[in-house]
């Protein structure tokens, strides 16, 4: 974040028009990753299920007999605030937010590739730092003891939207599609950080629960 912020603060802005193929390359990579993200939001373990050996799958299934999963979380009261029920379907609150963010950001990226300008060029530094704040807020929310479903959905959707804003801001500000691709790589690392923090929080909740299952231990 500091590295990219230094670029936005020190490098003078120059208007450099990117070629359509450059935008198409950047947009295709971003949208492809969003599609992968959507698939994991709907079915988190689809890739693991394909590559897992039979003996490993059997062990995992035996472990889950003790505690079923509903909405991508154990059916334990401790994780009630991590789920939301719509009709007869129970969803993971975090995944809904990421799903909305991926769909919204994909649509905005397609519009960007097609050459539809959202804001004046001088606003890209503002959009960049707004995207950085989105990531920081998402990280900070994981350290709050109480979880509000609507807030969690909103912040998770803003996480992917922040990735989009940071990517196009860096790309347009530097006029170099390689800088944009490098930013996408950083966004993937930030997303992985968010996943690691979420697993850490799940472990804390699980360890403080009096139930003996200890799914995340």
pLDDT value at 54 more than 80: no
- The pLDDT tens digits for 134-176 are 999 999 988 886 778 888 889 999 999 999 999 999 998 888 8
pLDDT value at 27 more than 50: yes
Give the model's confidence band at 86: pLDDT under 50 very low, under 70 low, under 90 confident, else very high: confident
Q: In this predicted model, which residue has the larger pLDDT, 31 or 79?
A: 31
Compute the average pLDDT of residues 87-116.
89
Residue given tokens 């120059």 in the structure block: 14
Cα–Cα dist 30/102, whole Å: 10
Residue given tokens 């373990």 in the structure block: 45
pLDDT value at 62 more than 50: no
Instruction: Check: CB of residue 22 under 8 Å from CB of residue 113.
Output: no
- The pLDDT tens digits for 105-128 are 999 999 999 988 767 777 888 999
Distance set, CA 13 to CA 3, 16, 54, 123, 173 (Å):
17, 9, 55, 11, 6
Positive or negative torsion for Cα 136, 140, 142, 147: negative
At residue 60, the pLDDT reads 45
Please tell me the pTM assigned to this model: 0.84
At residue 61, the pLDDT reads 45
3-state secondary structure of 67: coil
Name the helix (H) or strand (E) containing 74.
strand 73-74
* Range with the poorest average pLDDT among 69-73, 120-124, 206-210: 69-73
Compute the average pLDDT of residues 13-27.
85
Cα–Cα dist 19/38, whole Å: 29
- CA 181 from centroid of its chain's CA atoms: 17
Give the model's confidence band at 66: pLDDT under 50 very low, under 70 low, under 90 confident, else very high: low
Cα–Cα dist 140/158, whole Å: 13
Q: In this predicted model, which residue has the larger pLDDT, 146 or 195?
A: 195
Give the model's confidence band at 49: pLDDT under 50 very low, under 70 low, under 90 confident, else very high: low
Compute the average pLDDT of residues 84-101.
83
């Amino acid at each position: 974040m500091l590295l990219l912020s230094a670029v936005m603060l020190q490098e003078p802005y120059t208007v450099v028009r990117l070629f359509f193929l450059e935008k198409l390359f950047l947009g295709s990579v971003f949208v492809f990753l969003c599609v992968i993200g959507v698939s994991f939001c709907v079915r988190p373990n689809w890739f693991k299920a394909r590559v897992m050996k039979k003996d490993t799958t059997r062990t995992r299934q035996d472990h889950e007999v003790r505690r079923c999963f509903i909405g991508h979380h154990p059916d334990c009261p401790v994780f009630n605030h991590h789920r939301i029920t719509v009709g007869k379907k129970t969803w993971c609150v975090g995944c809904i937010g990421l799903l909305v963010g991926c769909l919204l950001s994909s649509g905005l990226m397609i519009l960007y590739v097609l050459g539809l300008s959202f804001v004046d060029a001088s606003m890209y530094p503002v959009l960049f730092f707004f995207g950085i704040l989105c990531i920081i807020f998402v990280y900070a929310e994981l350290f709050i003891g109480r979880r509000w479903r609507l807030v969690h959905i909103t912040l998770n959707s803003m996480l992917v939207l922040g990735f989009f804003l940071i990517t196009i801001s860096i790309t347009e500000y530097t006029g170099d599609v390689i800088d944009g691709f490098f930013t996408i790589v950083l966004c993937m690392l930030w997303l992985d950080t968010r996943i690691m923090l979420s697993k850490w929080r799940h472990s804390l909740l699980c360890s403080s629960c009096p139930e003996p299952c200890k799914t995340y231990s």
